[in-house]
Amino acid sequence: MSINFKNVTYIYQPATPFAHRALSDVSFSIPEHSYTAVIGHTGSGKSTLIQHLNGLLRPTSGELTVNDQLITTTTTNKELVKLRRQVGVVFQFPEAQLFEETVLKDIAFAPKNFGATPAEAEKIARKTAELVQLPASVLEQSPFELSGGQMRRVAIAGILAMQPQILVLDEPTAGLDPRGHQEIMELFAQLKQQQDLTVILVTHQMDDVALYADQVIVLEEGKIMAQQTPRKLFSRPEWLHKHHLDLPHAAKLAFAIQQQSNFKFKELPLTEDQLADQLAKWLPKEGSSN
Amino acid sequence: MNKVLLGRYLPGSSFIHRLDPRSKLILSFYFIIIIFLANNWLTYLFMFAVVAGCILLAKIKLSFFWKGVQPLIWLILFTVVLQILFSRGGTVYWQWGPFSLTQTGIISGIYVFFRFVLIIFMSTLLTLTTPPLEIAGALESLLKPLKKIHFPVYEVSLMLSIALRFVPTLLDEATKIMNAQRSRGVNFDTGSLRQRLHAVVPLLIPLFVSAFNRAEDLATAMEARGYHGGEGRTKYRVNQWRLRDTLSMFAFLLVTVIMFLLRTW
């Protein structure tokens, strides 16, 4: 049930003057129930990579397996429909996908497409709306009357209503305010816990990577530069700098503290909590020595 | 959708790329007119040579052009078949009701095919070597005389350049929405005609909504930057007529003369 890429290459518009190689010879695997972050520059192939996960794109060469389903160059669309139900993809700015007359109908759209009866679909939709903290009063409204943040929630609920086993998030909180960002990220983390999901997150926010991910895949120009735990990755600031990537804020501060004092962190703090914990143990000693 | 070459721009610095967009536009139209002068094998051969020469000058591979024609091949073949079945004259090989297969029909069918291919090649060459905004600018400056009859030249060209600018953006958006809906279980490629028409709704509504939003944002942004209509504006992109433009005009004049000679051969 894991995800496995084997020498996957993808070329946009092959054999034209516009041919563009977005992925070259990519191999990696993602274990079940893990939280994987995919990071890399704009245009490094992240979005191309995740479109392979539910068969929107088929590799130009190579093959991959997602949930025991083999996807090769010749896999037909029909075989992929089954897969799309198991892999929910929240695209960038997903509110662009809303179209139904009411919020409820829009959330129920995917379950209906995958064979639920209207009554079942509505039940799932109500439950999912509650899950993403949409007030019951908006359910009968048109999705186009809502605020940006609420539209985002409706769109995300529309994906969660499919009850996927693998959840793919392409910058799900881009353009949201800090509070909305935190709420949505927490929601995904909670869902992963409760439903044992496999989560794949594409993001530019290193703080989220540090906070949630078990492993990180670094992409650059369609190639995999690294696949490791966040801790290992962020302990190499020079390497990150060379690949134009940033550190989480906590780690940045930790490195700065180490540089300007004789304090040594036992292990690199990745989140504010870890940073505060280690500093708290240190401070009283400083105080008593004075 | 991605296979269509017509209307796309391929950056380069060849002779054709550096021509004034106005002269390219004039010459492309002119070419479409003189292609109707062709009436025998020799003239078509000559026109092919002219197009091939232009393509060589643009330093683009000929095979790309053939690929650009391929999406339109059914339309062309349809016209050709109509031409063949309904033309009369010369030896009759086969006849059934209003349909007939005659010598003239076959020959004019082949001619129509070549004419189509040549016109598509030439217009593809125009768009491959000229950025869309330059085409819009060139059209504006060529339409200027129409101002005398109160034709809204400026507004039309503004709409044209905005439309051209947003074609790729809207295509991207359409692909994005299509992917998002596919992920939600919409099937665009299979099913009956009715089902397929039904599947287009989740694509069209978001696309229209986003176009409306985009138009509103763009209008606001334009006003905020001090735009208030076409009168009294200066131009950033100024076209310059150079020697090579005059030369190309003469070259096409020569082509016309040769065409007239070959016609009466």
Using an 8 Å Cβ cutoff, are B184 and A113 in contact?
A: yes
What distance in Å separates the CA atoms of residue B130 and residue B141, rounded to the nearest whole number?
15
Which residues in chain A have their CB less than 8 angstroms from residue B210's CB? 96
Which residues in chain B have their CB less than 8 angstroms from residue A97's CB? 177, 180-181, 184, 202, 206
Using an 8 Å Cβ cutoff, are A170 and A47 in contact?
A: yes
Which residues in chain B have their CB less than 8 angstroms from residue A98's CB? 206
Higher pLDDT, B95 or B202: B202
Give the pLDDT of residue A290. 46
Task: Give the count of domains, chain A.
Answer: 1
| pLDDT reading at B136 higher than 90 | no
Highest mean pLDDT (candidates A97-106, A265-274, B10-19): A97-106
Give the pLDDT of residue B1. 44
Tell me the mean pLDDT in the region B137-149: 90
Domain containing A258: what range?
247-290
Among chain B residues, the shortest Cα distance to A170 is held by: B180
Contact B179 A91 (CB under 8 A): yes
| pLDDT reading at B6 higher than 60 | no
Contact B67 A56 (CB under 8 A): no
Tell me the mean pLDDT in the region B110-119: 91
Q: Which of A49-53, A193-197, B226-230 has the lowest mean pLDDT?
A: B226-230
Contact A88 B183 (CB under 8 A): yes
Q: Is A88 helix (H, G, I), strand (E, B) or coil?
A: strand
Q: What H or E segment, with its residue span, contains residue A198?
A: strand A198-202
Nearest to B10 among A17, A89, A92 (CB): A17
Which residues in chain B have their CB less than 8 angstroms from residue A43's CB? none
Tell me the mean pLDDT in the region A248-256: 90
Is A80 within a domain?
no
What distance in Å separates the CA atoms of residue A231 and residue A236, rounded to the nearest whole number?
9
Using an 8 Å Cβ cutoff, are A142 and A102 in contact?
A: yes
Cα of A112 to nearest chain B Cα, Å: 9
Nearest to B180 among A78, A85, A94 (CB): A94
Give the pLDDT of residue A287. 54
> For residue A286, what pLDDT band results from cuts at 50, 70 and 90?
low
Tell me the mean pLDDT in the region A204-209: 93
Give the pLDDT of residue A216. 96
Selected for mutation to probe chain A from B5, B62, B184 (highest A CB count within 10 Å) is B184
pTM of the shown model = 0.80
pLDDT digits (tens, 9 = 90+) for A218-243: 999 999 999 999 999 999 999 999 99
Is A254 within a domain?
yes
Contact B180 A16 (CB under 8 A): no
Q: Average pLDDT, whole number, for chain A?
A: 91
| pLDDT reading at A61 higher than 90 | yes
A-B Cβ pairs (cutoff 8 Å, strict): 72
Contact A97 B206 (CB under 8 A): yes
For helices B153-183 and B193-224, what crossing angle results, to 10°? 130
Contact B176 A158 (CB under 8 A): no
pLDDT digits (tens, 9 = 90+) for B190-227: 788 888 888 899 999 999 999 999 999 999 999 999 99
Question: Where exactly are the structural domains of chain B?
Answer: 8-130+239-265, 132-233
Cα of A76 to nearest chain B Cα, Å: 11
Give the pLDDT of residue A203. 94
What distance in Å separates the CA atoms of residue A284 and residue A264, rounded to the nearest whole number?
16
Give the pLDDT of residue A7. 95
Tell me the mean pLDDT in the region A60-64: 94
| pLDDT reading at A212 higher than 90 | yes
Using an 8 Å Cβ cutoff, are A132 and A187 in contact?
A: yes
Cα of B172 to nearest chain A Cα, Å: 12
Tell me the mean pLDDT in the region B168-191: 89
Is A257 within a domain?
yes
Going by C-alpha positions, the residue among A53, A86, A249 that lies closest to residue A170 is A53
Higher pLDDT, A65 or B13: A65
Give the pLDDT of residue A15. 75
pLDDT digits (tens, 9 = 90+) for A151-188: 999 999 999 999 999 999 999 999 899 998 999 999 99
Contact B176 A91 (CB under 8 A): yes
